[in-house]
Structure 1
Amino acid sequence: MVPIFLNEVKRIMPNWTGTWAGGRTYQTKDGRKAWVIRKMVKGHRYQIALDSETERQALAQLALFEQDPASYKTPSQQRAEARRQAQEADEKVRLEAEARRRQDEHEAAYLDAASVARFLEHIKDRTPKYKKDTRYYLSAWADALQGRDLRKVEPREVLRLLAQWNTAEQKRIAALKAFCSFLVKKGLLDPAQDPSRTLTVPASRPEKALREKGYTMATIETLYRALNDQGSRDVLLLHAKLGLHESEVQRIAAGEGKLVLVPGHPVISGTVKFVHKSGRVHTLSLDAQALAAAQRLQTHGAPTPDQVRHRLRLACEAHGLPRVKVGELRHSFVAWSLEAGEAVTLSGNGVPLALVASVLGHTSTVTTKKFYDVSKVPSMIKLPLNLEHPEDPQGIKSAA
C-alpha cells in the first residue's frame, strides 16, 4: 500500500472510520483500511499514514515510531530513501569517474602535430637535416601509434611497431627516445610511463665503422674544379680545409660564426669564432681562400645540405670520381693533417698545446685549452691542397 504523508492526509481529508492504539483509521477509495499514527510527543504533533496491510503490522510500526519519533520512517519511505541514496551514490561515482577522465585527458601525452612542433622548436639549433629526419621519423611513429596516449603504450608494443619497418631502426629509436625525453623534462610524461624507456639506440653497424673513410687530396681537387656552383665549391672548401661539421658550415652562412680579419700575416688572414650551446668558444684560423669562401657564404647564403649532396653526386658521376660525402671530409682532414700538414702560428713560433699542458702538469689538453688558452688567433693547419676553379672570385673583403 502506498503511504500517505501528513500533508497528503490534510489535503485528501480522509473519512475517519475508527481509532486504534496509535491514532485513527480511515477507508481508502478502493475500500482498504488504512492506519494513521496521530500522536503528540514532546510538543510535536505527528500524523503519519502507514503503509501497513494489517493492524498487527501497524502496531509493529507504532513500536518503532515510539522508539524514536523524530527519525521514524515508514518502510516505503525507507525504500524511497534507499533509492535516493543509491541514485546519489551512482551520481557521485559517475561524477568522480568523469572528473578522473577529464584529469586523465588533461594529463595525457600524445605524439601529435602540436607536440612535435614544440619539440622541433626545442631542437631548433640542430642541423636542418637532423630536424628534417626527426620530423619524418616522428611522423611515422605518430601514424603507427594512431593517437594513443603515450602513457598507456607499453615498451613491448613499441617493439612490435618498430618491427614493421625494415630500415633506419637506429634513427627511429633515437627520434622516439629524444621526443619522450623532451616530454619527461617538461613534466608532461612520467619517466615510469615513458614507452621508450627500455629501448636502447643500437650502435653503429660494424661494417660502417670498419669501412675506409676519407678521400685523397687529388680527388677533392678534381671535384672542386668540376663543380660549377660557387656556393657548393665554398662549402666543399671549408669542409676540406678546416674539417668542419656540416652544422658549422651552415652556422657560418647564417652569420652565427663571427669572422675577424687578421691583417699582415702571410698565411693566416682571419678567424671564425663559434659559441656552442654549452657556452664553449671554438675559434679557428683561416687562410685567405677559406676566409673569402666564408665571407661569400655569409653574403649570399649557402645551398642546402641536400643541394650540396646532389651537386657533388652529379659531379662525381660525370668525372668518374668516387662518391664524396662532405661528412667524411672531416676524416680526410685528420689524415691529411697527420701526413702532410704544417702548423702555422701567428708569430711563427710557439709550441704545441700538448707540450704546454705537460709542463703545467695537466693530464689533458682540455683543461689547458678551457682555462688558460687566451690566444685570439689559434694555430692553423696548412695543407698542400690546391682547390682552384677559373670562376672563383679573387681577394677578400676588407671588413668582416
Structure 2
Amino acid sequence: MGESKGKSQDYVETWEGGFVRTDAKGRKVYVIRRMINGKSYKVSTRAGNARAAMEQLKRFEADPEGYNPAGAPHEAPIYLDAPLAEEFLIWNRDVKKNSREWLEKQQRYLAWWADQLKGLDLRKVSLVDHIKPALKGAGNGPHRIAVLKSVYSWLRKEKHLLTVNEDPTFQTLVVPQARPEQWKRVKVIPREHYLLAREHLAPHWRDGMDVQAGTGWHVTELIRFAKEGSVEPYRGDAEGVSGVLVCPQTKSGEPLRTAVSAEVLEAGKRLLERGTFGREKYGMAVISACKAAGIPSFTPGRFRHSVATWAIEKGADPASVAAFLNHKSPSTTRRFYATHAVPAKIPTLR
C-alpha cells in the first residue's frame, strides 16, 4: 500500500513510526511514514494511542504492501484465556487509566466469562446460544455485560482482530440501566452534618472533604488530583470564584476543571503539597468523625449526590449543575444525583 492521498493535516507530534495528526473531531491518529526500498509510504494506523500504533507498525513492517489497518481475516481462534485477560487489564490500567477498584472488578468478571465461554472462539460466540444463557440468573448483570462489551470493543478497535460482524455484542447487547439506589434511600448529606463532621477531622482529611463539598468530585478524582492535579487561575468574573482545580483525568479521559471558592482553592493547594490521599483511611476518618460528632455516619462517596441536591434546592438550573459535575446531560443529574432535591417554589394562587 503506497502513500495515501487526501487532504493534508497538521502534525501534532512525532512517534517511532512517523507522525501523529488530529482528525476532524480533534482526536489523535497515528500515521506511519516510511521509506522502504526507495518507495515512500504514508498510511494511517487508525490507532489513537501509542500502544496500539506500535502493534500496527509491527504488522506494517512485516508486509508493507499488504498492510491493512483493519487487519486481514484471522484463522487462529481467539480465546478468553489468562494471557488475553491480562493484556486487556494492562491496557485498561495504562491506557484507559481505570481505577484500581474497577480493574479488580473487571478481573473477577473476566474470570467468570472465561468459565462461561471456555473453549469457544470469541469470534464464533453467539448472543443467543452463549451470552444470554450465561447471564440468566447471574447477579450484577450490567457490570458483566459492560466488561464483555469492552473486551470485544478492544479486540476490534485496538487489536484489530475482529470485524464488526464477528462481534456478537455490537449494537445488540445493551448494558441495562440500573434503578438508581438513591431512589430507594436518601443519600444526601445534610449541610449541618457535613459541618459537624469536619470539626472532628484531621486537617488533611478535612481538606479532602472541603474539596469534595466544593466540587462534587468522585473520591477517585480527589485522589488523582492530590497525586497529579494542578491549580489554574480563573479568567472569568463570576462572583465567589477564586481559582480552578484541575483533575488530570476523569472517567471520560479528559481533564476536569472545576471553578472553586477561595476556601476550597486553599484546601486544594494543601492537598497538592502533600501529594497523596488514601481512599480507605479517608473513609474511615469520615465515619469516625461522624461518630464523634454524634450524627448518622456517611461516606465520602455521597458528596457528589449532596452537591447536586444542595445546588438545585438553592435554585440552580439543572443544566448548570450538570455542566459543573461534568455530566453529558441534565437528565443524568436528575436521575442519579439530585433525585431528592425539591425544586424552588413558583408563584401560585395559594
TM range (shorter): 0.5 to 0.7
The partner residue of 2:101 within 129, 137, 146 is 129
Name which one, 1 or 2, has greater alpha-carbon Rg.
Answer: 1
Change (3 A) 1:297 1:306: same
The answer to whether structure 1 residue 237 and structure 2 residue 207 are counterparts is no
Give the AA of the match of 1:159: K
1:329-368 alignment, distance < 5 Å: 329-340=303-314
Q: CA deviation at 1:210?
A: 5.1
> What is the match of residue 230 of structure 2?
257
Checking the alignment, whether the CA contact within 8 Å between 2:222 and 2:247 is kept in structure 1 is no
What is the percentage of aligned positions where both structures have the same residue?
28
Q: For structure 1, which segment, 274-283 or 319-328, has the greater mean C-alpha deviation from structure 2 after superposition? A: 274-283
Q: CA deviation at 1:179?
A: 1.9
> What is the match of residue 271 of structure 2?
297
Q: CA deviation at 1:207?
A: 5.5
Checking the alignment, whether the CA contact within 8 Å between 1:259 and 1:270 is kept in structure 2 is yes
Q: Classify the secondary structure of the residue corresponding to 2:199.
A: helix
Q: CA deviation at 1:243?
A: 1.8
> What is the match of residue 89 of structure 2?
117
Checking the alignment, whether the CA contact within 8 Å between 2:152 and 2:169 is kept in structure 1 is yes
Aligned-pair Cα RMSD in Å: 3.8
The answer to whether structure 1 residue 324 and structure 2 residue 285 are counterparts is no
The partner residue of 1:141 within 105, 113, 122 is 113
Q: Residues of 2 paired with 1:147 and 1:303: CA distance?
A: 43
**1:124-178, Cα deviation, whole Å (9 max, x unpaired):** 334443333323322332344336431232223223333463x322112112212
**1:251-279, Cα deviation, whole Å (9 max, x unpaired):** 321223334489xx996543224576889
Checking the alignment, whether the CA contact within 8 Å between 1:116 and 1:135 is kept in structure 2 is no
**1:228-259, Cα deviation, whole Å (9 max, x unpaired):** 4x433222111112222334323321223334
Q: Residues of 2 paired with 1:279 and 1:127: CA distance?
A: 12
The answer to whether structure 1 residue 184 and structure 2 residue 134 are counterparts is no
More helix by share: 1
Give the AA of the match of 1:256: G
Q: Classify the secondary structure of the residue corresponding to 1:272.
A: strand
Change (3 A) 1:338 1:256: same
Q: Residues of 2 paired with 1:339 and 1:109: CA distance?
A: 52
Checking the alignment, whether the CA contact within 8 Å between 1:252 and 1:258 is kept in structure 2 is no
> What is the match of residue 166 of structure 2?
193
Give ranges in structure 2 of 5+ residues lacking alignment: 1-72, 325-350
Checking the alignment, whether the CA contact within 8 Å between 2:89 and 2:103 is kept in structure 1 is no
Q: CA deviation at 1:320?
A: 4.6
Change (3 A) 1:329 1:190: same
Q: Residues of 1 paired with 2:182 and 2:239: CA distance?
A: 41
> What is the match of residue 75 of structure 2?
104
1:1-400 alignment, distance < 5 Å: 104-105=75-76, 108-111=78-81, 112-121=84-93, 123-146=95-118, 148-155=120-127, 156-163=129-136, 165=138, 167-186=139-158, 187-197=160-170, 198-205=172-179, 208-209=182-183, 211-228=185-202, 230-260=203-233, 268-273=241-246, 283-317=257-291, 319-340=293-314
Q: Residues of 1 paired with 2:280 and 2:151: CA distance?
A: 24
Change (3 A) 1:208 1:270: closer
Change (3 A) 1:253 1:338: same
Q: Residues of 2 paired with 1:303 and 1:283: CA distance?
A: 19
Q: CA deviation at 1:312?
A: 2.8
Checking the alignment, whether the CA contact within 8 Å between 2:85 and 2:110 is kept in structure 1 is no
**1:300-335, Cα deviation, whole Å (9 max, x unpaired):** 233333443343334445555334233331232233
Checking the alignment, whether the CA contact within 8 Å between 1:253 and 1:297 is kept in structure 2 is yes
Give the AA of the match of 1:220: Y
Count of aligned pairs: 240
> What is the match of residue 343 of structure 2?
none
